[in-house]
């Protein structure tokens, strides 16, 4: 029997000493459980993904020292094997590093394996820093068990659609009793189920079981959900670690079957997981909590407009940081409705958040007066609307600078897609929580927050009111945009397309096809495509957003600013 400790940990990029300390603590737990093997995730030593830190000599020196420290620590438990992810130097032409794993035992490196398939799609750019490993299988014998090894992307090509090399086939030739895959697999909606399907199919095809070890935690815009799992030789998922939290668990493996560390049967794994809205909430909350902590913030500030976007952002911030660490600022202008101000008061009272009132009417009037005096014409129309947003954005940044709060921007994906936002105004901020949620999803998640609480945290008046920027008399979002249920389906197809989940893709495709068949429908879709393209310059300057869907704005969608799209 082989006893394996799954070390699903939350690493910080660049915190080599901190990551080493986490791994040593998990190894002690493994040794206490009498494990033979402890498995850490991909690039666990550095955190994923270090980016151009890998070009810094000091960073590589600290990485080398960290690996040496782990080697030394492994002497404390001489019977324990450690699988550690780390960048390793290589000789020869090309990149001088490889994304690799090492197996440590009793102070020695007993095996090295370099990742063969280096992704360059979506948010990934591993060929920028790494050379691929050779097309060879690496197998380690621990006791009577032959353990095959692979790293993340190596396991995603068993269908042979993306790369000429298939590490799964090479491993099958080596006939391991068990395959261990270390991973840094970012989370998005449907990703957990996709992992189960891809690796379950491969295990069934080749007839061997697999242990998939993932990391957890937020890193910039990306969130890792953990959810490490085990698959038997029939392709069935028989174990799953917790999602969105660290989890160090010892399993036993004997005669091709997984069991608990004591040999007891494992609890069945629910194939459905959690609901879409529960997923969005958990992912965003973890993403904010880690982003704030790692960037040195303990408190956040939000402009409270009385609208749905700022309300949901505030509720999520309270989830992540606690009500005492969140401040709302309401900034009424001459166009702000009394209802919006009252709704902000009710929202903050429900959430337990301090609300500060900072009227902007006099500031806007003074700015407009000086503008006319200097430039000879009055401010009106769009420039006056944008001025109000920019005064608010400046006020929020002043508060952030003065009191040290992280400013959370409140734009959703629908608005960001079509540029329905003011650059240097409501786009100000250090992080966007809902920038990867379409407006219809914002409403759905707000309702979920209330349902989960069993009471009205976000006032129903906010959820039910017609969306408005309130920058002009009687203004409504539909003055400039199609209704959000229409716009969102167009956006899903144009921005994410084939990356949508099958059911969502089928719905969006059918919806847009029916729309095109209506008078003016085809022109509307063409217009939206053009608006998306014209506003790329705004997105390039916007704050980072937490990624929850298959294609988010940012590094996962690299579009030119100056381009003809049709």
For the stretch 275-294, pLDDT in tens is: 999 999 999 999 999 999 99
Structure tokens at 191: 């990703």
What is the per-residue pLDDT across 123-165, written as a single tens digit (0 to 9) for each? Answer: 999 999 999 999 999 999 999 999 999 999 999 999 988 999 9
Q: What is the pLDDT of residue 469?
A: 59
Domains of the chain: 2-263 (3.60.110.10), 278-481+535-541 (3.40.50.620)
Q: Which residues contact 76 (CB under 8 A, 6 or more apart)?
A: 28, 31
Beta bridge partners of 260: 251
Q: What is the pLDDT of residue 313?
A: 98
Mean pLDDT of 490-494: 97
The pLDDT of residue 470 is above 70: no
Q: Which residues contact 483 (CB under 8 A, 6 or more apart)?
A: none
Would strands 222-225 and 216-219 be described as parallel, antiparallel, or unpaired? antiparallel
Q: What is the pLDDT of residue 481?
A: 85
Distance (Å, whole) CA 170 – CA 148? 10
Structure tokens at 534: 């014209």
Q: What is the pLDDT of residue 566?
A: 67
Q: How far is CA 406 from CA 17, 97, 347, 352, 412, in A?
A: 26, 36, 20, 18, 18
Mean pLDDT of 17-46: 98
- For the chain, what is the mean pLDDT? 95
Mean pLDDT of 467-486: 75
Q: Which residues contact 140 (CB under 8 A, 6 or more apart)?
A: 81, 103, 110, 111, 146, 147, 149
Q: Which residues contact 323 (CB under 8 A, 6 or more apart)?
A: 351, 352, 353
Distance (Å, whole) CA 304 – CA 313? 9
Q: What is the pLDDT of residue 485?
A: 95
Where residue 68 falls (left for φ over 0; alpha for ψ -120 to 50; beta otherwise) is: alpha
Phi–psi pair at 8, nearest 5 degrees: -95, 100
Q: What is the pLDDT of residue 41?
A: 98
Structure tokens at 203: 């295990």
CA 240-184-203 angle, 5° bins: 50
Distance (Å, whole) CA 472 – CA 470? 6
Tell me which of 3, 22, 115, 439 is the catalytic residue: 115
- Among 512, 488, 315, 333, CA closest to 416: 488
The pLDDT of residue 509 is above 80: yes
pTM: predicted TM-score of the whole model, two decimal places: 0.95
Beta bridge partners of 229: 212, 240
What is the per-residue pLDDT across 163-198, written as a single tens digit (0 to 9) for each? Answer: 999 999 999 999 999 999 999 999 999 999 999 999
Phi–psi pair at 323, nearest 5 degrees: -60, -35
Tell me which of 3, 22, 42, 153 is the catalytic residue: 42
- Burial class for 539, CB neighbours closer than 10 Å (0-12, 13-18, 19+): buried
- The tally of CA atoms less than 13 A away on the side-chain side of residue 415 is 24
Q: Which residues contact 290 (CB under 8 A, 6 or more apart)?
A: 10, 217, 218, 219, 223
C-alpha 502 chain-centroid distance? 21
295 is catalytic: no
C-alpha 140 chain-centroid distance? 33
The pLDDT of residue 544 is above 90: yes
What is the per-residue pLDDT across 221-250, written as a single tens digit (0 to 9) for each? Answer: 999 999 999 999 999 999 999 999 999 999
C-beta atoms surrounding 194 within 10 Å: 14
Q: What is the pLDDT of residue 480?
A: 74
Residue 49, preceding bond cis, omega within 30 degrees? yes
Q: What is the pLDDT of residue 474?
A: 65
- The tally of CA atoms less than 13 A away on the side-chain side of residue 315 is 32
Beta bridge partners of 300: 326, 406
- Among 266, 250, 253, 275, CA closest to 192: 275
What is the per-residue pLDDT across 347-390, written as a single tens digit (0 to 9) for each? Answer: 999 999 999 999 999 999 999 999 999 999 999 999 999 999 99
Which residue is listed with tokens 């008061």? 345
115 is catalytic: yes
C-alpha 81 chain-centroid distance? 31
Q: What is the pLDDT of residue 48?
A: 97
56 is catalytic: no
Q: Which residues contact 451 (CB under 8 A, 6 or more apart)?
A: none
Q: How far is CA 385 from CA 157, 333, 379, 424, 552, in A?
A: 51, 11, 9, 13, 28
* Consecutive H or E run containing 219: strand 216-219
Tell me which of 126, 152, 203, 415 is the catalytic residue: 152
The pLDDT of residue 87 is above 90: yes
More confident residue, 427 or 468: 427
Q: What is the pLDDT of residue 466?
A: 81
Predicted confidence band of residue 471 (pLDDT cuts 50, 70, 90): low
C-beta atoms surrounding 404 within 10 Å: 12
């Amino acid at each position: 029997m082989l006893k394996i400790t799954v070390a699903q940990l939350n690493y910080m990029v660049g915190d080599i000493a901190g990551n080493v300390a986490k791994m040593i603590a998990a190894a002690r737990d493994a040794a206490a459980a009498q494990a033979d093997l402890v498995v850490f995730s991909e690039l666990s030593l550095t955190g994923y993904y270090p980016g151009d830190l890998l070009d810094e000599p000091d960073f590589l020196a600290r990485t080398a020292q960290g690996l040496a420290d782990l080697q030394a620590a492994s002497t404390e438990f001489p019977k324990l094997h450690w699988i550690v992810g780390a960048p390793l130097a290589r000789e020869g032409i090309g990149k001088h590093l490889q994304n690799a794993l090492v197996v440590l035992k009793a102070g020695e490196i007993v095996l090295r394996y370099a990742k063969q398939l280096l992704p360059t799609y979506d948010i990934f750019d591993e060929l920028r820093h790494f050379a691929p490993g050779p097309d060879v299988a690496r197998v380690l014998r621990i006791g009577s068990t032959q353990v095959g090894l692979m790293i993340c992307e190596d396991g995603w090509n068993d269908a042979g659609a993306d790369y000429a090399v298939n590490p799964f086939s090479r491993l099958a030739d080596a006939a391991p009793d068990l395959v261990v895959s270390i991973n840094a697999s970012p989370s998005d909606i449907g990703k957990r189920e996709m992992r189960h399907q891809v690796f379950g199919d491969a295990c069934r095809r080749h007839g061997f079981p697999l242990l998939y070890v993932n990391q957890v935690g937020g890193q910039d815009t990306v969130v890792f959900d953990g959810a490490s799992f085990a698959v038997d030789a029939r392709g069935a998922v028989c174990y799953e670690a917790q999602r969105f939290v660290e989890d160090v668990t010892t399993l036993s493996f004997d005669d091709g079957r997984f069991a608990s560390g004591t040999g007891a049967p494992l609890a069945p794994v629910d194939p459905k997981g959690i609901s879409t809205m529960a997923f969005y909430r958990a992912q965003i909350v973890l993403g904010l909590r880690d982003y704030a902590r790692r960037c040195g913030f303990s408190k956040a500030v939000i402009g409270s407009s009385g609208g749905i976007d700022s309300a949901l952002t505030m509720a999520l911030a309270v989830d992540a940081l606690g009500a005492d660490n969140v401040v709302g600022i309401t900034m009424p202008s001459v166009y702000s409705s009394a209802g919006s101000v009252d709704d902000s008061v009710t929202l903050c009272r429900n959430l337990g958040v301090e609300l500060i009132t900072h009227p902007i009417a006099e500031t806007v009037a003074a700015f407009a007066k000086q503008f006319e005096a200097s430039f000879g014409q009055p401010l009106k129309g769009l420039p006056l609307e944008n001025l109000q947003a920019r005064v608010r954005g400046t006020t929020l940044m002043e508060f952030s600078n003065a009191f040290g709060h992280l400013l959370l921007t409140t734009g959703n994906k629908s608005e960001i897609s079509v540029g329905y936002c003011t650059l240097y105004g409501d786009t100000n901020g250090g992080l966007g929580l809902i920038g990867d949620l379409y407006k219809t999803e914002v409403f759905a998640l707000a309702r979920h927050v209330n349902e989960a609480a069993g009471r009205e945290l976000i006032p129903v008046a906010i959820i039910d009111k017609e969306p408005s920027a309130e920058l002009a008399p009687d203004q409504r979002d539909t003055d400039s945009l199609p209704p959000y249920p229409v716009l969102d389906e167009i956006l899903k197809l144009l921005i994410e397309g084939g990356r949508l989940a099958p059911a969502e893709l089928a719905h969006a495709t059918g919806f847009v096809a029916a729309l095109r068949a209506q008078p003016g429908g085809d022109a509307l879709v063409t217009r939206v495509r053009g608006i998306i393209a014209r506003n790329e310059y705004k997105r390039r300057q916007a704050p980072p957003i937490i990624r929850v869907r298959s294609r988010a704005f940012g590094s996962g969608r690299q579009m030119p600013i100056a381009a003809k799209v049709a």
